[in-house]
Structure 1
Amino acid sequence: MLSTLSPQLRQYMLVTANYWAFTLTDGALRMLVVLHFYSLGYSGLAIAMLFLFYEIFGVITNLVGGWLGARIGLNNTMNIGLLLQILALGMLLLPAQYLIVPWVMAAQALSGIAKDLNKMSAKSSIKLLVADDAQSTLFKWVAILTGSKNALKGIGFFLGGILLSLYGFSMAILLMLLMLAAVWLFSLWRLKADLGKSKTKPKFTELLSKSRAINVLSAARMLLFGARDVWFVIALPLTLASQFGWNHWAVGSFLALWVIGYGAVQSVAPLLSGSKASGTTTADSRLPDGSTLTLWALLLCAIPAAIAVALDQQWHSEYALLAGLLLFGAVFAVNSSLHSYMIVRYANSDGVSLDVGFYYMANAMGRLIGTVLSGWVYQVAGLTACLWISSGMLVTTVLVSLFLPKRSA
Structure 2
Amino acid sequence: MLSSLSKSVRQYMLVTFNYWNFTITDGALRMLVVLYFHDLGYGTLAIASLFLFYEFFGVVTNLVGGWLGARLGLNRTMNIGLLMQIIALMMLAVPNVWLTIPWVMAAQALSGIAKDLNKMSAKSAIKTLVPDEQQGALYKWVAILTGSKNALKGLGFFVGGLLLTLIGFQGAVIAMASVLAVVLVCSLVWLDSGMGKAKSKPKFSQIFSKSERINVLSLARMFLFGARDVWFVVALPIYLGTVFGWDHSLVGGFLALWVVAYGLVQGIAPRITGKADGKVPDSMAAFRWAILLTGITAVIAYCVHIEWQPQAVIVIGLMLFGAIFAINSSLHSYLIVSFAKGDGVSMDVGFYYMANAMGRLIGTILSGWVFQLYGLSACLWVSAAFLLLASLVSCRLPAANRAVVNES
Q: Give the TM-score normalised by structure 2.
A: 0.94
Letter in 2 for 1:262: Y
In 1, the alpha carbon distance for the partners of 2:28 and 2:231 equals 22
CA distance in 1, matches of 2:351, 2:249: 37
Q: Which amino acid is the alignment partner of residue 381 of structure 1?
A: Y
Residues of 1 paired with 2:275 and 2:401: CA distance?
A: 17
Q: 1:384 to 1:174 in 2, by over 3 A?
A: closer
Q: Which digits, 9 at most, give the CA deviation of each residue in 1:156-178, with x for residues without a partner?
A: 12222333333333332222212
Which amino acid is 1:188 matched to?
A: L
Q: What is the distance in 2 between the residues matched to 1:96 and 1:205? A: 43
1:219-368 superposed matches below 5 A: 219-276=219-276, 285-368=278-361
8 Å contact kept, 2:280–2:401:
no
**What SS does structure 1 have at the residue aligned with 2:280?**
coil
Partner of 1:170: 170
TM-superposed deviation, 1:33: 2.6
Q: Map 1:375-394; keep pairs closer than 5 Å.
A: 375-394=368-387
Instruction: Say whether the 8 Å CA contact 2:45–2:372 is kept in structure 1.
Output: no
Residues 281 and 401 in structure 2, CA contact (< 8 A), matched pair in contact too: no
- Report deviation, 1:252: 2.3
Q: TM-score, normalised by structure 1?
A: 0.94
Rounded to whole Å, the distance in 2 between the matches of 1:294 and 1:2 is 41
| Structure 1 equivalent of residue 51 of structure 2 | 51
CA distance in 2, matches of 1:159, 1:254: 12
Deviates more, 1:338-347 or 1:169-178: 169-178
Aligned equivalent of 1:7: 7
Counterpart code for 1:76: R
1:195 match: secondary structure:
coil
Deviates more, 1:237-246 or 1:195-204: 237-246
| Structure 1 residue 192, shift from structure 2 partner | 0.4
Q: Alpha-carbon deviation of 1:203?
A: 0.8
Distance 2:161 2:26 in 1: 13
Q: Deviations over 1:222-270 (max 9, x none)?
A: 0111111122222323333333333343222211211111111111111
- AA aligned opposite 1:293: A
- Rounded to whole Å, the distance in 1 between the matches of 2:215 and 2:318 is 29
In 1, Cα distance between equivalents of 2:41 and 2:393: 43
- Structure 1 residue 285: deviation in Å? 4.6
- In the TM superposition, residue 36 of structure 1 has moved relative to its aligned partner by 3.0
Q: In structure 2, do the counterparts of structure 1 residues 285 and 402 end up closer, same or farther at CA, with 3 Å as the change threshold?
A: farther
- Which residue is 1:373 aligned to? 366
Q: Aligned with 1:105: secondary structure?
A: helix
Residue 9 of structure 1, CA deviation: 0.3
Quick one: which amino acid aligns to residue 170 of structure 1?
Q
Q: CA deviation at 1:292?
A: 1.1
Unaligned ranges ≥5, structure 1: 277-283
Could you list the structure 1 runs, at least 4 aligned residues long, displaced by more than 6 angstroms after superposition: none
Query: Could you say which residue in structure 2 is the equivalent of 1:63?
Result: 63
Per-residue CA distance 1:302-328 (angstroms, 9 max, x = gap): 011111222233322321222211111
State the AA in 2 paired with 1:224: L
Partner of 1:402: 395
In 1, Cα distance between equivalents of 2:103 and 2:307: 43
1:107 aligns with 2:107: yes
Is the 8 Å Cα contact of residues 50 and 104 (structure 2) preserved in structure 1?
yes
Q: Distance in 2 between matches of 1:312 and 1:101?
A: 33
Q: Which amino acid aligns with 1:91?
A: M
Which residue type is aligned with residue 361 of structure 1? M
Q: How far apart are the structure 1 equivalents of 2:162 and 2:143? A: 29
The code of the aligned residue for 1:17 comes to: F
Does structure 1 retain, via aligned residues, the 8 Å contact 2:145–2:267?
Answer: yes
Q: Amino acid of the residue matched to residue 203 of structure 1? A: K
Cα 1:350/1:329, change in 2 over 3 Å: same
Which has the higher mean CA deviation after the structures are superposed, 7-16 or 92-101?
92-101
Q: 1:230 to 1:165 in 2, by over 3 A?
A: closer
2:210 counterpart of 1:217: no
CA shift for structure 1 position 286: 1.4
Q: Secondary structure at the match of 2:295?
A: helix
- Structure 1 CA distance for aligned equivalents of residues 171 and 306 of structure 2: 48
Q: CA RMSD in A?
A: 1.6
SS at match of 2:275: coil
Partner of 2:406: none
Separation in 2, partners of 1:32, 1:219: 31
Deviation at 1:25, TM superposition (A): 1.3
Cα distance in 1 for partners of 2:255, 2:324 equals: 17
Q: Percent identity?
A: 64
CA distance in 2, matches of 1:360, 1:134: 23
Residue range with higher mean Cα deviation, 237-246 or 191-200: 237-246
1:156 matched to which residue of 2? Answer: 156
